Structure 1
Amino acid sequence: MHRQLQWPLSITCEVLGVSRSGYYRWKGRQRRPGKMQKRHQSITSFLLERAKKMKSVPGYRKLWIEAQDEGYRCGKNQVQRLLQEAGYRSCTALKPGYRRTVSTLPVLPNLLNRRFSVGEPNKVWVSDTTQIRCKEGWLYLVAVMDLGTRQIVGYAQGAVNSSQLVLNALESAWKYSQPVGKELLFHSDSKTTRRQVFLG
């Protein structure tokens, strides 16, 4: 009978290329699900079953109302998170003959053109949107950076990713720095707002 060797956890994790915290998270997932996990599984099963009956058309807000009507005690953000973890996405079917409207907004030239080295403050601002998973659901954070100082001069956060969130971040930066608008270029990669404008 061969003797089974047991290696220290630190050496085992190093050989396997995993962290100790990652190992303990994996080990915790192997345990029997607790009451909260069972409750989440029950809600998720209901949401996916109801979405299937409705041909995957409704979004998380509609499914949240369905769950409320069925007697489930859950929040809107919780429903959104559970559906995202389950990989569900609404796929609303287009009506026959439907045509997408063509945007009338002009296509702006790329004035920045990846010239990120700026020697003066309040000459070029750039913004980016980050999606953060929280316990209550998704949080969107828009930050505005001054390329001249490499400092964050404004930000905004919210539960919905929209052009208004970008504008709120820009307004925050404007109040903080009070630049000369005609000399400032604002560049945004957000799909919900125009690419870049001079703020005259």
Structure 2
Amino acid sequence: MLCAILPVSESGFYKWKRNRKKVKAWQKLLAQMHEILDEDEENKNYGVRRMQIALEQRGIKRSLSTVRRVMIRGNLLHEDRRSPDGLTKAEKKAMRPQNIIKQDFSAQAPLRKLLTDITQILCKDGKLYVPPLLDCYNGEIISLAMDTNMKKEL
């Protein structure tokens, strides 16, 4: 009588009734993923590849696409925090810097050849910029500064 009211076939209803209490394979896999994530606070950052490796260490072999699909269903994937942009925007008018080093990172004496570059580190409070000053003679970092902005003083 219920099948006549609802647009469901009788065989479809009984198939649903028979299988509704069975735990699906992806639900078991999701439960195992939650166990892995609950083991340690740092595990909350696991992406698809690291989760697949952790599952394999427990003897559970699943493809990367299966792990991704289950993680999406279980809302375990985070947005990618890395921005595709670099530190600076390139302008067409800007001149390329002259290549003085020419891939020769060796020096005959200390303080003859110094290198620097600005590294951007994403923190909870915002961005942190770190420009170390490196001596090519022995690879020693001579100077290190940190700031929350990229001004010339840095």
TM-score (norm 1): 0.33
Larger CA Rg, structure 1 vs 2: 2
Decide which structure has greater strand share: 1
Higher RCO, 1 vs 2 (CA within 8 Å, ≥6 residues apart): 1
TM-score (norm 2): 0.41
